[in-house]
Amino acid sequence: MKVLVTGADGFIGSHLVESLLEQGYKVKAFTFYNSFNSWGWLDTLPKDKLNQIEIFSGDVRDPNGIYEAMKGVDQVFHLAALIAIPFSYHSPDSYVDTNIKGTLNVLQAARKLETSRILVTSTSEVYGTAKYVPIDEQHPFQGQSPYSATKIGADRLAESFYRSFNLPISIVRPFNTYGPRQSARAVIPTIILQLLSGKEYIELGALTPTRDFNYVKDTANGFIEIAKSDKSIGEEINIATQNEISIRQLAEELIRQINPKAKIVCDEQRLRPEKSEVNRLLGSHEKIKRLTNWKPDYTFEQGLAETIEFFKNNLDKYKTNIYNI
């Protein structure tokens, strides 16, 4: 089985590439073209793993590049996207171009090439603040940021291609993923990096919102299990633990583990606009367990321990003295 992973140079994408290799897949990695010839997090993989990967550098906004990359592959895991919510407030055009048009390019190429499976990556942010919990796949969509609005648009495009052209599509909807290699803009790395850099006042935005956190290796395994299941074709599927923790509780736990003397302070520039803040995310995992063999292998405590260890060993790769958006 030969597969293409778009966004392979990113956080979840690089872990998915590793998991696919471990399970015997032939992997083509679509990375974002740049003049540094950087392959993102793939550059940090051991040489023996990197040598097994076929690299294709391009841009998901370019239909020809996507078409060329998808030639000769059986399945596509489409992860490439712009994801930072604060950045989407002032650059929404780029989110439309990358998240919606990029997904359209993948769908169009898959239709022409008759690709056997396409997995389109969604996000729990499409649900907005929970109207009921646990949030199942029937929950209404709410575009509470330009980012989430573009992901809703991409999801609906994917659904339309399944219904209109019978494309074998699954929409994969991970709740908040965390772990090694995550961007410093995300909440868990933000807290860990501030603590490891010696700060005694940890700057955060809103503390009351809750999140359902998936460890990244469990998220990657979720993608693979969904791809293996014919029952998942035409479906939207959450990857969730069905557990929640508030940002305050999360910060207090990390402070306890790393620097018990640290205090939490609210930084106003980190606050989302009031109507844009997603106050509660608690996902249902009933559907993924019914349709696939997926189950999480890591507890939250195990995932946090591995994440802390990674950041301890990779502080030099992050800018810990600024607010990363």
Residue 117 forms part of a structural domain: yes
Residue 187 forms part of a structural domain: no
Residue 221 forms part of a structural domain: yes
Per DSSP (E only), the strands in 24-108 are 26-32, 53-58, 75-78
Residue 145 forms part of a structural domain: yes
The CATH number for 160's domain is 3.40.50.720
Nearest-10 crossing angle of helices 300-313, 187-196: 50
pLDDT band at 286 (very low <50, low <70, confident <90, very high): very high
What Cα–Cα distance (Å) separates residue 158 from each residue in 39, 101, 150?
27, 11, 12
Taking alpha carbons only, the member of 152, 120, 316 closest to residue 223 is 120
pLDDT at 303 over 90: yes
Distance, CA of 84 to CA of 185 (rounded, Å): 7
pLDDT band at 322 (very low <50, low <70, confident <90, very high): confident
**Cβ burial, residue 90 (10 Å; 0-12/13-18/19+):** exposed
Nearest-10 crossing angle of helices 102-113, 63-70: 40
Mean pLDDT score across all residues of the chain: 97
Q: Tokens 């009351």 identify what position?
A: 208
**Tokens of residue 76, six digits:** 């596509």
pLDDT at 174 over 90: yes
What are the tens digits of pLDDT across the range 48-73? Answer: 999 999 999 999 999 999 999 999 99
Quote the pLDDT of residue 324: 86
What spatial distance separates the first Cα and last Cα of the chain, rounded to whole Å? 37
Mean pLDDT of 261-285: 94
Residue 46 forms part of a structural domain: yes
**Cβ burial, residue 137 (10 Å; 0-12/13-18/19+):** middle
Quote the pLDDT of residue 163: 98
Q: List the domain range (segments joined by +) for residue 94.
A: 2-178+214-242+282-298
144 pairs with which residues across the strands?
Answer: none
What are the tens digits of pLDDT across the range 175-217? Answer: 999 999 999 999 999 999 999 999 989 999 999 999 999 999 9
Q: Is the pTM of this model over 0.95?
A: yes
pLDDT at 107 over 90: yes
Quote the pLDDT of residue 260: 95
Residue 248 forms part of a structural domain: no
pLDDT band at 321 (very low <50, low <70, confident <90, very high): confident
Residue 80 forms part of a structural domain: yes
Domain tally, the chain:
1
Residue 143 forms part of a structural domain: yes
